[in-house]
Structure 1
Amino acid sequence: MATKTTLRAEIRARRRGRRAFPGTSIGARSSDTDQAPLPVRHRAEAEAIAFQVRALASSMGSVALPALFVPTPLEPDLSLTLGLFPRALLPVLVDEAGVALSGPRWGLWEAGQALVMPGRPPAQPSGEALASEALARADLILVPALAGGLDGTRLGQGGGWYDRTLPHRCPTAPVVAVIFDDEVLEPGQIPLEAHDVPIDAIITPTRTIRVTKP
């Protein structure tokens, strides 16, 4: 089994290559930018992921408050996903001066509200930063990842942000990793550590996968 450090290096290199490959970056149409709260970097990808998220939310009956994330340029394009919901919780990483916060915080975004970038990307909601415990209000939680295992394991960036906030989730809220198709790994390929919170499903641009936890 590869270490998490090795896996992260391999997947980050693939992501850089994917985004650098000519023709992969598809600009937004004017109709997209009129409706999307985020710039649409890769339209076909963004539409495909939004389709998967919409279908998952519909299968749940209703989603009153999802916890989403603003993707970095190397992550799957969720720019059209945010517009599916009237409001959402989004990570808040820095204060108004751009200084990193000491622990996980959330911001409540509502339709029509602009996102701000007081520090480096990603953008975040303005206004009051909510404590990590605010995640308990979410009934669907989308999380970034570098890879997701079919056994429910998740390979994060290594900073532990989600490891610290996910324990506050509502037990009935599914945790869903959003990754690329080639980042779906077989059971046992991602090392499992005691603090790791398992995922319930994986969304890629082409499919939604319900995982089987040990």
Structure 2
Amino acid sequence: MRHRAEAEGIASQVRALASSMGGVTLPALFVSTPLEPDMSLALGLFPRALLPVLLDEAGASLGEPRWGLWEAGSTLTTPGPPPAQPVGEALGSDALAGADLILVPALAASEDRRRLGQGGGWYDRTLPDRTPSAPIVAVVFDDEVLTGGRIPREPHDVPIDAIITPTRTLHVPARHA
């Protein structure tokens, strides 16, 4: 039952954020692994979405960030370890320029716009290709929201604009030069 409530909470937060933006036509989402907040109901909020493509059909790593277009009613495949990904053509990271909302997984996120990824740099390599007006939102569990200054920042890290948990959305303040 915890997973259902978690999935409903995440979907509720994503729905409210998309509504506050005046609607979202093409989000970039992710399919969660068992260790991440359950995104299964959030995917159903949209008729189509960009999803990460990490493996080729044989299950080998693609090496460079790729995105796939998922459409409602289409299937996802798991050619290797989770997460699942869309079936079909793998698009380059420049496909992210079409997204108007970007949700990213994280091990932790903080109020000073930092996120801690899994160390592979997949999102850090693809996020520079986004439209600058598209908000980047880290999706974490409630206990993975940290106070500022606890997550180190590397020169290649792209700051987040908000944090979604199963119970809340935190809009993090923009940095001022």
Q: TM over 0.5: same fold? A: yes
Which residue does 2:33 correspond to in 1? 72
Identity of aligned residues (%): 76
> What RMSD, in angstroms, separates the aligned Cα atoms of the two structures?
0.9
| Alpha-carbon distance in 2 for matches of 1:90, 1:156 | 17
Q: 2:142 aligns with which of 164, 181, 188?
A: 181
Which residue does 1:33 correspond to in 2? none
Matched to 1:121, the amino acid is P
1:59-108 deviation per Cα after TM superposition (whole angstroms, max 9, x unaligned): 00010000000000010011100000000000000111111102000000
For the pair shown, the structure with the greater C-alpha radius of gyration is 1
Matched to 1:94, the amino acid is L
Q: 1:86 aligns with which of 35, 47, 50?
A: 47
Matches within 5 A, 1:38-117: 42-117=3-78
Which residue does 1:163 correspond to in 2? 124
Equivalent residue pairs, number: 175
Q: State the secondary structure of the residue aligned to 2:83.
A: coil
Matched to 2:31, the amino acid is V
| Alpha-carbon distance in 2 for matches of 1:130, 1:94 | 12
Per residue, is there more helix in 1 or in 2? 1
Moved more, 181-190 or 66-75: 181-190
Structure 1 residue ranges without an equivalent (≥5): 1-25, 27-40
Structure 2 residue ranges without an equivalent (≥5): none
Q: State the secondary structure of the residue aligned to 1:106.
A: strand
Q: State the secondary structure of the residue aligned to 1:57.
A: helix
Under a length normalisation based on structure 2, what TM-score does the superposition of the two structures give? 0.97
Matched to 2:37, the amino acid is P
| Alpha-carbon distance in 1 for matches of 2:88, 2:36 | 25
Q: Which runs of 4+ in 1 moved over 6 A?
A: none
Matched to 2:133, the amino acid is T
| Alpha-carbon distance in 2 for matches of 1:153, 1:117 | 30
Under a length normalisation based on structure 1, what TM-score does the superposition of the two structures give? 0.80
Which residue does 1:145 correspond to in 2? 106
Q: State the secondary structure of the residue aligned to 2:41.
A: coil
Q: State the secondary structure of the residue aligned to 2:40.
A: coil
Per residue, is there more strand in 1 or in 2? 2
Offset at 1:213?
3.5
| Alpha-carbon distance in 2 for matches of 1:117, 1:185 | 32
| Alpha-carbon distance in 2 for matches of 1:205, 1:46 | 7
| Alpha-carbon distance in 2 for matches of 1:131, 1:91 | 10
